[in-house]
Amino acid sequence: MFSWFRKQPSPQRQTAERLYTGVVVRSRNPFFYERFGVPDTVDGRFDMILLHSFCVINALNKQGQGGRELAQALYDVMFVDMDRSVREMGVGDLSVGKHVRRMMKAFNGRMHAYQAGIDNASLDDALMRNLYGTVTGTVDPTNLAIMGDYIRNQVAALNTMNPDRLMQGDIEWAPVPGAGIKQRAPIVEPQKTDQAVA
């Protein structure tokens, strides 16, 4: 009965949760792990979420003050979810903050590296250091090139999609190579709590 008194998320928060759901669903596409050599590990899945979040935040930041505020809301939702995930992995309460701060630092570093490299070959270097950084052995250069082109295509697609739809939380991704036509993120009703979508 106490649910009557639960604070409902703001419209902006609900939109950020919808965007985050789209990021997570896209990042779980098995093609990345089965075909393109992304490590199917906690680190690999974390990096895929950061990579797709970069694409969305990059597009939102071009939509004026409202877009920048929504980008910040998406960032906040993402790290509430990361906090929850760290706790579910059994990290003690006293260490959770340290782990999440490390993840935030990793994201901010990747944002700068991907932004600097999106129009040149340094993107591949950033992907090698981060997305493929935990790979044991040699990374297939074809996979690296495919992922570099994939990210450039995502940035281009999100920058040219209808900005009103993006601001409403509707993401239209460019295709995953070999996985069929381009896909829209599913529209998911946000949870009626202030927790992030998992």
For the chain, the residue count is 198
Q: Are 74 and 53 in contact (CB under 8 A)?
A: yes
Higher confidence at residue 7 or residue 4? 7
Core vs surface per residue 177-187: b (16+ CB within 10 A) or e: eeeeeebebee
Q: Is the dihedral of CA 54, 60, 66, 70 positive or negative?
A: negative
Average pLDDT across the chain, whole number: 84
Average pLDDT value for residue range 128-137: 92
Instruction: Name the pTM for this structure.
Output: 0.82
Summarize pLDDT for 14-66 with one digit per residue, the tens. 999 999 999 999 999 999 999 999 999 888 999 999 999 999 999 999 999 99
pLDDT at 197: 32
**Confidence label for 8 from pLDDT (cuts 50, 70 and 90):** confident
CA atoms within a 13 Å half-sphere pointing along the CA-CB vector of 104: 14
Q: Which two tokens stand for residue 115?
A: 């932004």
pLDDT at 180: 55
End-to-end CA distance of the chain: 25
Summarize pLDDT for 54-111 with one digit per residue, the tens. 999 999 999 999 999 999 999 999 888 877 766 666 666 656 667 668 878 888 889 9
pLDDT at 84: 76
- Cα 152 to Cα 120: distance, rounded to the nearest angstrom: 10
- Cα 53 to Cα 130: distance, rounded to the nearest angstrom: 14
- Cα 7 to Cα 167: distance, rounded to the nearest angstrom: 23
pLDDT at 44: 92
pLDDT at 86: 65
Nearest one of 26, 70, 64 to 48, comparing CA atoms:
26
The DSSP secondary structure of 121-173, one letter per residue, reads THHHHHHHHTTTTT--SPPPHHHHHHHHHHHHHHHHHHHHS-HHHHHTT--EE
